[in-house]
């Protein structure tokens, strides 16, 4: 609303360098920004905004002249680009914040491709699970309806997520319990993917879990022997 020389000092050469591609990108980013803010029914206004900007830029490139009616719109061009840049910065910050959670959901999906896990922001952060039934209708199930192996997997992966990527000592006794053999092969790598800075120590009888880390195996019989 207030005067700002960054926006209100008009340089014709600056406006001549704005391309049709820039304007199309401006329109796309405005749609995204309004959608993220939850502001609806602005599509027509955005289209009018973009059309007016595009018409004025075409006139400038043809005649290099600006009418008094064009001045407010030219000021809006710089302001619009500035708003879009602010929006992009916040989008990057948002992605950085939610990156660990997105990786967590993706990891769960790799183990259980027939289920979608969604955090319900409107229900105290509870997890909703959508069970994919193939040709049948998808149904929501409670987390308590998961099998013992799925619950074990969910607990292990959640523990890794809660470490927030900082150095931790992750100790687990027989993590293979109730896990499918294929899951046993993948579980340690999944934990390390969620927190690469964790040191993981497990006591296991599963060759599937130990097989990928043969060089890190310690035979407990040698440690507990009193001979």
Q: What is the DSSP string of the chain?
A: ----HHHHS--HHHHHT--HHHHHHHHHHHHHHHHHTT--S-HHHHHHHHHHHHHHHHHHHHH----TTTHHHHHHHHHHHHHHHHHHHHHHHHHHHHHHHHHHHHHHHHH-TTEEEEE-TTTTTPEEEEE--TTSPPEEE-GGGS-HHHHHHHHHHHHHHHTTTS-EEEEEE-TTTT--HHHHHHHHHHHHHH-TTEEEEEE---HHHHHTTGGG---HHHHH---
pLDDT tens digits, residue range 109-142? 999 998 888 877 666 667 888 888 766 678 888 8
Least confident of 12-26, 134-148, 203-217: 134-148
Contacts of 111 (CB under 8 A, 6+ apart): 153, 183, 186, 190
In the predicted structure, residue 199 carries a pLDDT above the cut 70: yes
Q: What is the mean pLDDT of residues 155-161?
A: 93
Q: What is the mean pLDDT of residues 51-59?
A: 90
Kindly report the average pLDDT of the chain as a whole number: 87
What pLDDT, on the 0 to 100 scale, is given for residue 27?
93
How far apart, in Å, are the Cα atoms of 164 and each of 11, 71, 91, 192, 196? Answer: 48, 50, 20, 12, 10
CA atoms in the 13 A half-sphere facing the CB of 139: 8
Contacts of 5 (CB under 8 A, 6+ apart): none
In the predicted structure, residue 11 carries a pLDDT above the cut 90: no
What pLDDT, on the 0 to 100 scale, is given for residue 188?
93
Q: Which is nearest to 110 in space by CA: 183, 163, 159? A: 183
Q: Which is nearest to 57 in space by CA: 89, 95, 26, 102? A: 26
Residue with tokens 């934990």: 191
How far apart, in Å, are the Cα atoms of 115 and each of 118, 134, 191? Answer: 10, 11, 20
Tokens of 179: 């896990």
Q: Which is nearest to 185 in space by CA: 114, 110, 127? A: 110
Model confidence pTM above 0.85: no
């Amino acid at each position: 609303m207030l005067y700002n020389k960054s926006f209100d000092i008009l340089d014709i050469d600056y406006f001549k360098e704005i391309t049709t591609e820039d304007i199309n990108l401006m329109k796309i980013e405005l749609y995204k920004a309004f959608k993220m803010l939850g502001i609806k029914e602005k599509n027509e206004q955005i289209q009018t905004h973009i059309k007016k900007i595009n018409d004025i830029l075409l006139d400038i490139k043809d005649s290099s002249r600006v009418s008094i009616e064009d001045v407010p719109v030219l000021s809006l061009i710089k302001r619009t680009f500035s708003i879009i840049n602010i929006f992009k910065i916040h989008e990057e910050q948002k992605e950085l914040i939610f990156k660990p959670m997105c990786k967590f959901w993706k990891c769960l999906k790799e183990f259980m491709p027939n289920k979608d896990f969604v955090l319900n922001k409107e229900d105290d952060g509870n997890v909703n699970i959508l069970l994919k039934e193939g040709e049948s209708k998808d149904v929501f199930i409670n987390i308590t309806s998961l099998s013992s192996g799925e619950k074990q997997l969910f607990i292990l992966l959640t523990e890794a997520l809660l470490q927030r990527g900082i150095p931790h000592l992750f100790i687990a006794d027989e993590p293979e319990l109730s896990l499918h053999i294929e899951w046993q092969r993948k579980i340690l790598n999944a934990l390390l993917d969620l927190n690469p800075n964790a040191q993981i120590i497990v006591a296991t009888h599963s060759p599937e879990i130990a097989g990928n880390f043969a060089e890190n195996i310690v035979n407990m019989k040698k440690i507990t022997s009193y001979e």
